[in-house]
Chain A
Amino acid sequence: MRLSISHDTTYRYDSQVRTSIQYLRLTPHDSERQRVLNWQLKLPRPVRAQLDPYGNILHVLTMDEPHESILIGASGQVEIDVLCESEHESQSALPFLRFTHLTEADPALREFAQLHCKKRRDRSALIDLMHGLHGHISYLTGSTAVETSAAEAFAGQQGVCQDHAHAFLACARSLGIPARYASGYLYTDSDDHLASHAWAEAWLEGAWYSFDVTNCLTKPERHLKLAIGRDYLDACPVRGMRRGGGTEQMHAHVEVEVAPMLQVQQQ
């Protein structure tokens, strides 16, 4: 499946921002499952790309002239191999066993993981866990904030895709299974969910498998991956800081569609 993405983000500030810096993870890279056909990033000034600690493509945008808004545009086309269910990697998965502040497993989460997986540590166990979390934390836009931890969302029984992913990571890690956060785009027919999306991946039998708690999907056929990390903070598309500016208004517009000029691959 070929996905076409257009993602514009505008930040506007009440007053002038003196300086700002943003970590941008808005550029996908080739992998077993996805092939980037073309991709453009429109930024207020030229920025050199680098790889971040997790191998994501990172742009660090520094602005030291006073400004009142920032426009960031990402667009391109990516070919998704819908049959590919897992991805291999040479780096050790062990660092993804560690909890982070956002993915700390409190007794309730540990108990929940035990309850759903018992002694099993395989894919079917994690699928059960995924369904369990989907049922426990109902999707409600605006019910949590970016700094909400897995334990808080779990206790509140409401959240967004970020909270679903965090709760899954906390549970999987508590079972001794390395797990990581993935951020990216999701193609969806309905208008229910944002096209910007987050899900989890777990390390099973030498490969990373996807678990999308929000949509109860284990086959990532509609998912375009931008970045991975231990939690939201590592992998989120934009993380920034500024001096001055007062309050910020962020407006994001994302369109994900199946590319119109569908060609049957000759092979």
Chain B
Amino acid sequence: MDRKYYDEMYDAQGKCRPHYLEFARWLAAIPPEQLAQRRREADLLFHRAGITFTLYGDEQGTERLIPFDTIPRSIPASEWRMVERGCIQRVQALNMFLADLYHEQRIIKAGIIPAEQVLANEGYQIAMQGLNLHRDLYAHIAGVDLVRDGDGSYYVLEDNLRTPSGVSYMLEDRKMMMRLFPELFAAQRIAPINHYPNLLLETLKTSSPLDNPNVVVLTPGRFNSAYFEHAFLSREMGVELVEGADLFVRDDKVYMRTTAGAKQVDVIYRRLDDDFLDPLAFNPDSMLGVPGLLSAYRSGHVVLANAIGTGVADDKSTYPYVTEMIRFYLDEEPILKNVPTWQCSKPADLSHVLANLGELVVKETQGSGGYGMLVGPAASKAEIEDFRARLIAKPEAYIAQPTLCLSTCPTFVETGIAPRHIDLRPFVLSGREVRLVPGGLTRVALREGSLVVNSSQGGGTKDTWVVEDLKNAE
């Protein structure tokens, strides 16, 4: 199939886009052996620092390095401002949706979203019904996954409102680029991002009504795939990194066990799924959570960030309604587009999907990390038939979307430099106000033609630049 991709660096005529000119000049001037040497240095530094992730399903719990590509993804500042406004608008609407859903349910009464769609959803938590949260905030930290289609326009692929990860790679990638190629940062104005941990800490502190709350990061432990990130963020924020066993509940308050006795905890930045938080309220087999945490939470003595029950809003079957949410709650037109989505729970949509499996991307509504996904154009006949059977067996568990022509960015590959598909995940922080650091995490599918950028599926990362527009470059 002949597809037209939008390339981030070069336009259709092969001419370098203005915001990449400075980089292109530098790339042309640097001797190849020097570049290769610095790239090796980057690998070594990442290894030494242990910036790794653990693969699920890998019995050995082997730690792998996420490939880092030294060609940055660059976004002109004017374009970024649009993306930023779009992300803020979206996350605001999603938080308002969650507050509404767990209280008055106006959006259901208005007939915009069917009651069964959300109330019988896996992500809907009865425990949140009628519970009042400080500032009405549910998703304090959100990751919005964006891709660009053939014409360069941005689409939201999915919202991540539970425990979005990857921000440590965003920060480490920048540190690495500044260390290896300081001259690039001297030559042009690239918006800084390293204040993210500060913003995050501020966001977490303002999630509590207390003046100076005791904040901790709750990790599932050192065998979790994102443990590096949990340790990284707690270190950067200067707060404790705790595991479930470090915390306990006494009389509806949460304490951590310290060498100087019990110390009360006020805000928990939890990197643990809802189901594992409290073995007395959710999954009884969870060894990772804190018995009694839900009762303490519902008594208002501790803040969880993100709140319990945000999964109903980032579920892929809720996704199609987000544009309507923006109109309903904010009375605004969505700035960022949604990808057209077929909900396989609807018979008409299902038959369309089944008839066009070879063209579509099919995803599990509850899936993440690029698992449980079919990319039609890249799939074998057997894979397509396998998915057909799964769809027919459990249609409500799937949605389908057209295969987007993800934009490409020049990337170092074995044979030199070649275009590879990328996406973008900006991290949106909601506290007293809604804020982002410029850019986000750019993930790149290193296999030629692949559209799956997840690190667990062979994806890499790039530093993401927001650069001042060059007015007179043409």
Contact = CB atoms under 8 A, between A and B. Distances in A.
- Whether the complex brings A and B within 8 Å at their CB atoms is answered yes
A117 to B, nearest CB: 19
A50 B295 contact: yes
| Residues of A in contact with B, size category | 20 to 34
Interface string B100-141: 000001000000000110011110111111000000000000
Given A53-B127, A241-B291, A94 B116 contact: yes
B284 interface: yes
Interface stretch (B43-51, B77-85, B244-252): B244-252
Interface string B237-267: 0000000000011111000000000000000
A94 B120 contact: yes
B280 A62 contact: no
Interface string A7-35: 00000000000010101000000000000
Nearest to B108: A92
Secondary structure type dominating chain B contacts: loop
Interface in A24-80: 47-48, 50, 52-54, 58, 60, 62, 64
B194 interface: no
A128 B191 CA distance: 69
Interface string A93-118: 01101100100000000000000000
A50 B297 CA distance: 12
B435 interface: no
Nearest to A92: B119
Contacts of A94: 115-116, 119-120
A260 to B, nearest CB: 37
B280 A239 contact: yes
Contacts of B248: 19, 21, 64
A194 interface: no
A230 to B, nearest CB: 8
A156 interface: no
Given A53-B126, A53-B127, A94-B120, A60 B295 contact: yes
Given A21-B291, A50-B295, A60 B120 contact: no
Considering the complex of A and B, which 10 residue pairs feature the smallest CB-CB distances, nearest first?
A94-B119, A53-B127, A97-B120, A241-B291, A60-B295, A53-B126, A62-B250, A21-B292, A94-B120, A21-B291
Interface of B: 105, 115-116, 119-122, 124-129, 248-252, 279-281, 283-284, 291-292, 294-295, 298-299
Interface of A: 19, 21, 23, 47-48, 50, 52-54, 58, 60, 62, 64, 91-92, 94-95, 97-98, 101, 147, 230, 233, 239-241
11 contacts: A21-B248, A50-B298, A52-B295, A53-B298, A54-B126, A62-B251, A92-B105, A92-B115, A92-B119, A98-B122, A241-B291
